[in-house]
Structure 1
Amino acid sequence: MTMGSPVETQILVVDDDPRIRQMLQRYFEHEGYKVTCVTNGKEMRSALSAKPFDIVLLDLVLPDQDGIDLAREIRSVSNVPIMILTGREDVVDCVVGLEVGADDYVVKPFHLREVHARLKSILRRCQTARKPAPNADEVLAFEGWRLDREKRRLLNPENVEVELSTGEFEMLDAFVHNAGRVLSRDVLMDLTRHRERDPFDRSIDTQISRLRRKIEIDPARPKLIKSVRSVGYVFTAKPVLAALDGRDR
């Protein structure tokens, strides 16, 4: 990802409404971004194969394929951030979008400044995730798993890399670095999503549900990320420093 300035940032807009495409393209190009617009899933695949993008703004209702399916398809092969743009009023669709790997969503009609603010927040989080942290050559290990912050990798006990979305990685990173501490949803939102709190926003629970499916032996009876009734969640494992070859130290 290139994030030195907006002009280095490539945005892919996937929306079949010409008014939305034109509005987003004009606004973000005026702000200095590079914008490519497509109208359907086929064109989206072609654009993504032609060059790398820093973020995808994806409509849920497209003429050839549902946006949820496209988000799932993108996430199966790439960790590029996805922001869902939807005119659907049912929040369930937005939650499903987050479940399949989207990083955020906005509901139409939207304010361009809000879209811009959320886009910058997503890109900032991705940039931070890719920056070497202090002692970034060190890896945190827990219950046989290894979390490499610099390379943004999670290796399972069989030493196989497990793909994580930006939101999933940040959620796990927050838990690992606050192990044993009960974290409320508000705290987790501050540590990960960096967006205004909404009492009806269940995206934190959605991210945790997705993460549990990837790291828990039995997601229905989690042992690593436990719920604390009426408070939040707690990461029960005790992370230790480990070498990249898996030897604890």
Structure 2
Amino acid sequence: MNKKCLVYVVEDEKDLGTLICNTLNQFYFDTKYFGNGSEAEQNIVTKSPDICIIDLTLPDMDGIDLIRRLQHKNIGIIIVSGRDALTDRVLGLELGADDYITKPFEPRELVARVQSLQRRIQTHDEKPVNTKQYAQFSGFTYHPGSLTLNADTPHQEMLSRAEADMLLALLKNPYQILSRDQLLGENTVPYDRSIDVRVSRLRKKIQPKNDTGTLIKTVYGAGYMLITEVEWH
């Protein structure tokens, strides 16, 4: 039997946090509730979850700060918040959050989002990339298994899972236009600029040294294209 997906729910409203946990339990998720960010962070060190559902308004810290501390860990992140400001959405996505849901929401909608993220996590973890171990392109080395970029050099970048999925799609299809839907896959959030934010963040991480150009070209009205040769080893 496959291991159940472990979800940490970090929410200051206990009744809502309990409701989220109980609803997810009905769909065969293991859950644990935390009323503040510090307690959740301490438990993550002891036992890392597969997914964290994080409210931005926590009693001891801003949820954005907690997400910032988790961005290089291999954990799926869903933001649940009453804050609907554009800056919060953009910053959450830039820090590697996989989804953003505003309150109020239907518990069943959240379950669907968690299930979607779980499928994407399992796909990334279980399927090898053409049985190859790493990709080399434009002086960069990317290791899908560890989500690390430039792993063979002193400078190493850790990608969020969302960034890793996007880069992987581009590396598997160089010189081909990929639509926004192809790049996002199931990693779709209810925010029109989500793809633009993630592409912008990824561009900064694979910017060729001493070069003002970009490896990810925008094809207006169609999508994005990686313009470099890729070798898999």
Q: TM-score over 0.5 for the alignment?
A: yes
Query: Does the C-alpha gap of structure 1 residues 185 and 10 become closer, same or farther in structure 2, counting only changes over 3 Å?
Result: same
CA distance in 2, matches of 1:102, 1:220: 29
Question: Retained in 2: the 8 A contact 1:132–1:150?
Answer: no
Aligned equivalent of 1:207, options 198, 202, 208: 198
Structure 1 gaps, min length 5: 243-249
1:56-76 CA deviation, whole Å, 9 max, x = no partner?
A: 000011111111111001114
Moved more, 206-215 or 225-234: 225-234
SS in 1 for 2:229: coil
Which stretch has the larger CA shift, 147-156 or 80-89? 147-156
Partner of 2:95: 100
Instruction: State the match for 1:146 in structure 2.
Output: 141
SS in structure 1 at match of 2:49: coil
| Percent of aligned pairs with the same amino acid | 35
Name the CA shift for 1:73/1:151 in 2 (closer, same or farther; >3 Å).
closer
Q: Which runs of 5+ in 2 are unaligned?
A: none
Number of the residue aligned with 1:114:
109
Q: Give me the CA root mean square deviation.
A: 2.4
What pairs up with 1:17-166 in 2 under 5 angstroms? 17-76=13-72, 78-133=73-128, 135-155=130-150, 158=153, 160-166=155-161
Matched, 1:240 2:231: yes
State the TM-score, normalizing by the size of structure 2: 0.89
Distance 1:209 1:156, change over 3 A: farther
> Any conservation in 1 of the 2:217–2:224 contact (CA below 8 Å)?
yes
Given that 2:51 and 2:76 are in contact with CA atoms closer than 8 Å, whether structure 1 keeps it comes out as yes
Match of 2:207 in 1: 216
Structure 1 residue 232 displacement after superposition:
2.3
SS, match of residue 157 in structure 2: coil
How far residue 202 of structure 1 moved from its aligned partner, in angstroms, is: 1.1
Distance apart, 1:159 and its partner CA:
6.2
Count of residues in Structure 1 that have an aligned counterpart in Structure 2: 233
Moved more, 152-161 or 108-117: 152-161
